[in-house]
């Protein structure tokens, strides 16, 4: 039986998704994604020349400290990706490590995506693509084997939900002709203002255990649950801030010898909501480490998340 689809806007917010006992605030955002890479020079070439990141700062290797670089959008102080060099780090085999599957760079408009596609084609770099119903997406693989999604969202007025409140996803072919037409004669000049980290996608060993950490304890809503071997979770009605899948179940967890996700950042609106999220995770039995930047929690597969607060209490 085919499920009847409804416009996203036809359901109230409380009817969209599966809600945990205590939800995250609707105004969360994803912060810096920290990656360990084998060669900083090689990765900087890819992230700047191919993806269009701007180099915000760079540190040289010293005794006791590895080389690193912070990347973002030109003219903005917000660090989207931090690369830390780990010479000799093993590349990531396809579906061969539990941990990060991809990080997703969200562009502001369809025209921006068209400019990016034209740019990548001009470089001769392989580009995968898909239409996810709520977004139009492209995929590249970086030199260490990390997948990078570059995408644009459709307006929420164009999203669809089931009568049960599940946001509808798809794996349809991308209308590349239409996306390129949206760009017109504009040329790619690097990541445009307003670009963010839209979501992250993780390889996990169990959807039940993943839901226990990210949904029941941390507080994300489950937005999509009918995909084979995956859950998409988000806050504020977004289609997903995190993808959680078991497509690499049985593979080993990424180790200190591998290129890997060192940590990601989840920014909450204030210290109270941050501390409450950390307390829920700790009460559920997960490791939560206090640091000067904020508490860092670790999921069952060693994926670490820094919980940050946009505003701190007055002293």
Residue pLDDT, tens place only, 231-270: 999 999 999 999 999 999 999 999 999 999 999 999 999 9
pTM, to two decimals: 0.96
Map residue 178 onto helix, strand or coil: helix
Cα 261 to Cα 254: distance, rounded to the nearest angstrom: 8
Percent with pLDDT over 70 in the chain: 98
Q: Would you place residue 58 in the very low, low, confident or very high pLDDT band (cuts 50, 70, 90)?
A: very high
Please tell us whether the domain made up of 18-310 is placed in CATH 3.10.180.10: yes
The rounded distance, in Å, linking the Cα atoms of 289 and 239 is 29
Output the CA–CA distances (angstroms, integers) from residue 123 to 126, 148, 266, in the order listed.
Answer: 9, 16, 34
pLDDT of residue 1: 42
Span 198-207, pLDDT tens digits: 999 999 999 9
The string of pLDDT tens digits covering residues 70-113 is: 999 999 999 999 999 999 999 998 888 999 999 999 999 999 99
Domain assignments of the chain as residue spans, ordered by start: 18-310
Structure tokens at 149: 């999604």
Of 238, 251, 239, the residue nearest 99 (C-alpha): 251
Lookup result for tokens 């669809």? 160
At residue 61, the pLDDT reads: 82
Helix, strand or coil for residue 90?
strand
**Alpha helix ranges (H) inside the chain:** 40-45, 110-123, 176-183, 207-211, 271-283
The string of DSSP codes covering 197-213 is EEEEEEE-S-HHHHHII
CB-CB contact of 288 with 297 (8 Å): yes
């Amino acid at each position: 039986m085919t499920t009847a689809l409804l416009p996203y806007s036809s359901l109230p917010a409380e009817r969209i998704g599966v809600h945990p006992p205590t939800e995250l605030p609707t105004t969360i955002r994803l912060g810096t994604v920290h990656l360990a890479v084998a060669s900083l020079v090689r990765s900087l070439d890819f992230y700047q020349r191919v993806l269009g990141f701007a180099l915000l700062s760079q540190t040289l290797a010293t005794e006791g400290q590895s080389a690193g670089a912070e990347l973002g959008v030109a003219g903005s102080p917000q660090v989207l990706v931090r690369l830390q060099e780990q010479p000799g780090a093993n590349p990531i085999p396809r579906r061969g490590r539990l941990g990060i599957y991809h990080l997703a760079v969200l562009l502001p408009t369809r025209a921006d995506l068209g400019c990016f596609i034209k740019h990548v084609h001009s470089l001769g770099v392989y580009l995968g693509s898909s239409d996810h119903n709520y977004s139009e997406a492209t995929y590249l693989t970086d030199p260490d084997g990390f997948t990078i999604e570059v995408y644009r969202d459709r307006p929420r007025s164009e999203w669809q939900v089931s009568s049960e409140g599940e946001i509808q996803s798809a794996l349809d072919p991308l209308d590349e002709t239409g996306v390129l037409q949206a760009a017109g004669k504009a040329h790619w000049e690097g990541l445009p203002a307003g670009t963010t980290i839209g979501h992250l996608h993780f390889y996990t060993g169990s959807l039940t255990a993943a839901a226990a950490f990210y949904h029941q304890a941390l507080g994300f809503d489950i937005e999509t649950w009918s995909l084979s071997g995956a859950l998409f979770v988000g806050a504020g009605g977004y289609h997903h801030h995190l993808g959680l899948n078991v497509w690499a179940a049985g593979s080993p967890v990424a180790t200190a010898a591998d290129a890997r996700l060192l940590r990601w950042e989840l920014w909450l609106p204030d210290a109270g909501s941050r501390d409450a999220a950390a307390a829920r995770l700790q009460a559920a039995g997960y490791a939560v480490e206090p640091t000067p930047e904020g508490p860092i929690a670790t999921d069952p597969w060693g994926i670490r998340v820094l919980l940050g607060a946009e505003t701190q209490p007055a002293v």
